[in-house]
Structure 1
């Protein structure tokens, strides 16, 4: 029997909270058009120059941290504040959840062809490399492209039929699973050391960033570096989520059934029936950074949660797909993360740029589903081809609808309409005044 769902068209204004509907104002076309970086930023980390001073001590908080409150206690009041607030969230995520994701190494070289990409990197006298295969759509390029982690993600036939190339990337070349935390392996750890405290999700995100570096350097005759997407399912959904959160050049992020260590909020996981415990996710593989081990039994002291990683993607395209039929995957916690993160999209005037779907019939893990085909096409057209304008929608299964009101004690501010993320020099270069 088909699960009842709540349909939330952000353009028409509704967010589901456990069967109830909270009306929010639609972002106008002008607001979305004015929201910088909705289609990806020109740089990997636009807030790299923002000073960030981490808290000296951590305080337990059973509610989701307020994404709009800066580390100094002041609240974000203008869209222009978000660039450096995002930098604070990024630093918190690296310090307590993922481990550091280093920026571009001293040397990145490689090749792009109709069938593959090679990447060679050098840092501090160490070198490593990896590769990925390419499947082009019909027609003439250059093409936008979607990186598919581990051969498992959004339907590749639909991606190519819609007009985007598929980059098949094996992230295990960069960060292997099945290794102890003090002896990690892969191209990332060849550069940064086998005892690096960074988990393999950070390593995988670093690997995709280096692929984009090579595409940028290739001249753009085959693939377009300014029209990149990423997807993955299950463990690779965790990876796709990290990729999109950390690299602002990704215009469209599409994690699928990512489970614990992916989209679902950490704070709700201990109380959600059947969900993979945080300790299990931490110990199963070195996905998360070593520091996260201190929070697996009690995530309330974490100064960050995954709704803020959702917010790190804003205002860029985000399409979250979840499976409510498998309790282990924590779809209820995932809906809470998406609903809370969508509040940042709303504040930035980009409410139409986030889509969430867990109303599905097929309960098989990582199945190709008809319910996701149309929104997949629409998101590719909007954020990669830039020929569409379909508004984002939330379709949450009633069986796994989280209640955001239970998890926050903060409200979404109305931000002034200053340019949300670009510093003055980039505003001028983009023709924004």
Structure 2
């Protein structure tokens, strides 16, 4: 029976207010839950050696995340070609070399390309590189007029002058505050960034992203255990790494996967999938990233799957409002990156991303790092604001909101100087 419009509206408003009321922002309301031990297998065997971790426990954890959370990639797809679209040996007032490189992929009569914007410090050989996606186009991270504007689909955003899903020059430089390019270059590191919408547009439509190149006949959507957008974005980071291995100016053994928010989730999954990444930085990655799911604090699995149904694989929806039935939690995703350096960062006002849940994930992942003789998080309580822990597993919570700041980059550079030089 069809309800009258006014009753339908009332029910909708009630459901919205009920959903909002259920959002937990008070520690006293966090449900009791069990933290699954990274060093105990699904069958109850305790892991006590690196060999058992790498041959038994790590593979079963990775398979679970791959098939139940992020989705597996159905086939390996290699770079068909790469092309240097533009280069300048005197960029950033003479401090850096700039290069814009297009990677192209072809399969099943379809083509997809994405462009890496790369800044490398001059007079530095075999450069270590921070690699991460941006949200609104390569041209937004710098005032540099030579940076090309992507023609890929973009979500409409009045603040970035994006209409008709088209990026324009009006948004050039609007995200410079998130990318401390000169600090990075002055420290002797390179920066590489990609507009994430070129790999997979951030919308619930799998017709024009990288997934569509690998569909079987008559397939229009990834299978239940196949890649959502986060897995696709992680794939793109690994393809950039494929290119870096061909570039003599880059030390491909010292590439750090970086990401903020949803792209922090992608950086973590890329680091778990691809051991070539020398380190991983997750900045305010929250639910489905660094934050523990079973705490149900701030954003939850049910909410994230409702708002962004394309991010994770379809199987992940089995756990909507049923986090307790997950056999894993996000600290075990972090553990998959061991023994490589890992940095988890939170912001004090970003309660939606659950800073405490992010800290606890880093803490609970540390037992795997200790198995390798690496130093993880060695305190049980969160550090005070703006007091970073710079171990192999690093963590800080800073003042401010959901963002990337100069303070964040200063800590990342200091940490990289210690562990990745």
Q: Deviation of residue 127 (structure 1)?
A: 4.2
Q: What do the CA deviations read for 1:95-147 (whole angstroms, capped 9, x no partner)?
A: 11101145642554424664122222345665432221111123233311111
The range that moved more, 335-344 or 112-121, is 112-121
Q: CA deviation at 1:265?
A: 0.9
Residue aligned with 1:210, SS: helix
Q: Aligned residue for 1:251?
A: 278
Distance change in 2, residues 1:229/1:103 (3 Å): farther
**Aligned partners of 1:136, 1:204: CA distance in 2, in Å?**
23
Matches within 5 A, 1:1-400: 62-84=33-55, 85-101=57-73, 104-105=76-77, 108-111=80-83, 114-123=98-107, 127-150=111-134, 155-180=180-205, 183-192=206-215, 194-196=220-222, 197-216=226-245, 218=246, 220-269=247-296, 272=297, 275-285=298-308, 286-351=310-375, 352-358=391-397, 360-361=398-399, 363-370=400-407, 372-384=408-420, 386=421
Worse overlay, 82-91 or 143-152: 143-152
Larger displacement relative to structure 2 (156-165 or 320-329)? 156-165
1:50 is matched with: none
Deviation at 1:232, TM superposition (A): 1.8
Provide Cα deviations, 1:389-428, integer angstroms capped at 9, x if missing partner.
xxxxxxxxxxxxxxxxxxxxxxxxxxxxxxxxxxxxxxxx
Q: Contact conserved, 1:111 with 1:117, CA < 8 A, in 2?
A: yes
Equivalent residue pairs, number: 315
Other structure's SS at 2:192 match = strand
Distance 1:224 1:115, change over 3 A: same
Q: What is the RMSD computed on CA atoms of the aligned residues?
A: 2.4
- Where does structure 2 lack aligned partners over 5 or more consecutive residues? 1-26, 88-97, 135-140, 142-174, 376-390
Q: CA deviation at 1:233?
A: 1.4
| Uncovered stretches (5+) of structure 1, i.e. residues with no partner | 1-17, 19-60, 387-433
Q: Measure, in 1, the Cα distance between the counterparts of 2:248 and 2:403.
A: 33
Higher relative contact order (CA 8 A, sep 6+): 1
- Distance in 1, Cα, partners of 2:47 & 2:184: 37
Over 3 Å counting, the alpha-carbon distance change for 1:186 and 1:253 in structure 2 is same
| Contact 1:130/1:173 (8 A) holds in 2 | yes
Query: TM-score, length-normalised on structure 1?
Result: 0.67
Q: Is the deviation greater in 373-382 or in 317-326? A: 373-382
Separation in 1 of the partners of 2:108 and 2:415?
Answer: 40
Answer with 1 or 2: which has the greater Rg.
2
SS of alignment partner, residue 195 of structure 1: coil
Distance in 1 of aligned mates of 2:416 and 2:401:
24
What do the CA deviations read for 1:44-91 (whole angstroms, capped 9, x no partner)?
A: xxxxxxxxxxxxxxxxx9412221122443221211222122121111
Q: Aligned in 2, Cα 1:74/1:111: closer, same or farther, shift over 3 Å?
A: farther
